[in-house]
């Protein structure tokens, strides 16, 4: 890169070797192997000689510089001359070093196009090798995805059979990961045209994992990689939008719920018919009625207006009732097995076994008290919560009954008024 720097380093090495040779000569001359160089900085390379070696004769060219008990330190004209050469070479080296980085970058820039092509080739090769290693060494069945071209009038779809999470081979307890089917959109002429799937199920039942799994498999498929599934067919996805997890932005003064709404707003403004949207428990950060209303409106917009492929998980079971007859929305839930279910509906006696299997239909409950028990919430607190839940459910039932009676009474009054007006005519 720099010839001047190379010459300076060569002179430094040559001068140091000359100093070493001179030291060897003085050892032979005085017949003492204990002679060595001493000093640092400007005082370096002083000959440190034991006084006993100088008892017979001290060379006349030696100039005394310093001493300590039993030793004297000298410079000779030859050492002074070599020191000057060494200092000069080191100064030239330091000057070159100050400009070395600029020269290195200049040399690199002269071959910029070649380096850019090299980096791109290495990057592509690295990606291909990584995809090959993943496709060939992952546990379980891997399949080559079939990306189906879409034409005017065709409906976007995703069909994943026996899909597994690309990053999870085994569960926390060491068991095999349970595969699931994920089908969104009209994947054959006889299937439903629903583009939105509402996912319900118990807490810790695997809803979020299913959604992440679907998103990652779609990305891998469009990368051209084999995917962890028995079968994977899909039309191209232009974007994958996610609203998963919960976090706030303290420095921006944005609450968890505001962040959720901001991300949802971005999805509603930018998603197209060919997008994949993954929404996890939207609306949980505010009051139940407000959250349910927002979630319901978002589902309606995604399924009827945008008509994009959507997985929407929720614990708002009123949403299931609202969209149970909607042809654009399909219901599914993570299955579980309930043992010791009490006829009185006492959740404290239930034992929940998660099956981690995605099936058709809606889950009747979220079994939140089971999650509380697994988290070691004190039993007396859980019992108090169960009593409160019953109280809330009874109040809701009373309100529903009251509204039904009031509506029926209003209808009768309206009919009576209409009959009276007709008779008066």
Domain ranges (residues) in the chain: 1-137, 146-365, 378-424
Mean pLDDT of the 123-143 span:
89
Statement: residue 211 has pLDDT above 90: yes
The span from the CA of 200 to the CA of 210, in Å, is: 11
The span from the CA of 44 to the CA of 35, in Å, is: 14
Question: Which strands form 309-313's sheet, in the order they lie side by side?
Answer: 240-243, 276-280, 309-313, 196-200, 329-339, 351-360
Statement: residue 319 has pLDDT above 80: yes
Mean pLDDT of the chain: 85
Q: How sure is the predictor about 171, in pLDDT bands with cuts at 50, 70 and 90?
A: low
Statement: residue 346 has pLDDT above 70: no
CATH number of 1-137: 1.10.1420.10
Are the C-beta atoms of residues 227 and 217 closer than 8 Å to each other?
yes
Question: Could you tell me which of 220, 213, 279 has the C-alpha nearest to residue 244?
Answer: 279
Q: Is 241 helix (H, G, I), strand (E, B) or coil?
A: strand
Kindly report, residue by residue over 145-159, the tens digit of the pLDDT: 999 998 877 889 999
Statement: residue 173 has pLDDT above 70: no
Statement: residue 217 has pLDDT above 90: yes
Mean pLDDT of the 131-138 span:
86
Query: For residue 348, what pLDDT is reported?
Result: 64
Length of the chain: 425
Whole-number percent of the chain with pLDDT over 90: 35
CATH number of 146-365: 3.40.50.300
Q: What is the dihedral of CA 33, 37, 38, 42, to 10 degrees?
A: 170
Question: Could you tell me which of 17, 24, 36 has the C-alpha nearest to residue 85?
Answer: 17
The span from the CA of 416 to the CA of 386, in Å, is: 45
Statement: residue 21 has pLDDT above 80: yes
Are the C-beta atoms of residues 296 and 289 closer than 8 Å to each other?
no
How open is the CA angle 93-96-99, to the nearest 5 degrees? 150
SS in 3 state form for 29-49?
HHCCCCCEEECCHHHCCEEEE
The span from the CA of 198 to the CA of 311, in Å, is: 6
Question: Backbone phi, then psi, for 383, in 5-degree steps?
Answer: -60, -40
Mean pLDDT of the 382-394 span:
78
Q: Residue 186, class by beta-carbon neighbours within 10 Å (0-12 exposed, 13-18 middle, 19+ buried)?
A: middle
Q: What is the DSSP string of 89-105?
A: HHHHHHHHHHHHHHHHH
Alpha helix ranges (H) inside 138-237: 207-223
Query: For residue 1, what pLDDT is reported?
Result: 60
Q: How sure is the predictor about 102, in pLDDT bands with cuts at 50, 70 and 90?
A: confident
Please count the other Cβ atoms lying within 10 Å of the Cβ belonging to residue 284. 16
Are the C-beta atoms of residues 199 and 363 closer than 8 Å to each other?
no
């Amino acid at each position: 890169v720099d010839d001047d720097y190379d010459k300076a380093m060569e002179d430094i090495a040559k001068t140091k070797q000359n100093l070493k040779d001179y030291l060897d000569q003085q050892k032979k001359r005085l017949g003492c192997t204990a002679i060595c160089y001493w000093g640092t900085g400007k005082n370096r390379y002083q000959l440190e000689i034991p006084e006993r070696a100088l008892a017979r004769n001290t060379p006349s060219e030696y100039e005394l510089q310093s001493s300590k008990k039993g030793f004297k330190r000298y410079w000779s004209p030859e050492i002074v001359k070599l020191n000057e050469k060494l200092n000069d070479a080191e100064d030239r080296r330091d000057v070159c070093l100050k400009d070395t980085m600029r020269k290195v970058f200049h040399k690199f820039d002269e071959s910029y196009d070649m380096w850019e092509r090299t980096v791109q080739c290495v990057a592509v090769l690295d990606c291909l090798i990584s995809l090959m290693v993943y496709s060939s060494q992952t546990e379980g069945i891997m399949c080559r995805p079939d990306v189906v071209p879409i034409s005017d009038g065709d409906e976007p779809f995703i069909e994943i059979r026996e899909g597994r999470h690309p990053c999870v081979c085994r569960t926390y307890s060491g068991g095999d990961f349970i595969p699931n089917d994920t089908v969104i959109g009209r994947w054959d002429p006889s299937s439903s045209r629903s583009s939105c799937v509402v996912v319900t199920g118990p807490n810790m039942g695997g809803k979020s994992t299913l959604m992440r799994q679907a998103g990652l498999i779609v990305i891998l498929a469009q990368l051209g990689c084999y995917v962890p599934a028995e079968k994977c067919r899909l039309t191209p996805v232009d974007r994958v939008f996610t609203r998963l997890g919960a976090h706030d932005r303290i420095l921006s003064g944005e609450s968890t719920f505001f962040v959720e709404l901001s991300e949802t707003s971005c999805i509603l403004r930018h998603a197209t018919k060919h997008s994949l949207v993954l929404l996890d428990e939207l609306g949980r950060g505010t009051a139940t009625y407000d959250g349910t209303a927002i979630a319901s409106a978002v589902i309606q917009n995604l399924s009827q207006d945008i008509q994009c492929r959507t997985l929407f998980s929720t614990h708002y079971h009123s949403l299931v009732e609202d969209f149970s007859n909607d042809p654009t929305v399909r219901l599914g839930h993570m299955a579980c097995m309930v043992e010791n279910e009490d006829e009185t509906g006492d959740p404290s006696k239930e034992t929940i076994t998660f099956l981690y299997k995605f099936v058709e239909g809606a889950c009747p409950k979220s079994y939140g008290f089971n999650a509380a028990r697994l988290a070691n919430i004190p039993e007396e607190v859980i019992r108090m919560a169960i009593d409160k839940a019953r109280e809330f459910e009874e109040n809701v039932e009373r309100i529903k009954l009251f509204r039904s009676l009031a509506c029926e009474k209003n209808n009768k009054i309206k009919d009576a008024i209409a009959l009276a007006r007709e008779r008066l005519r």
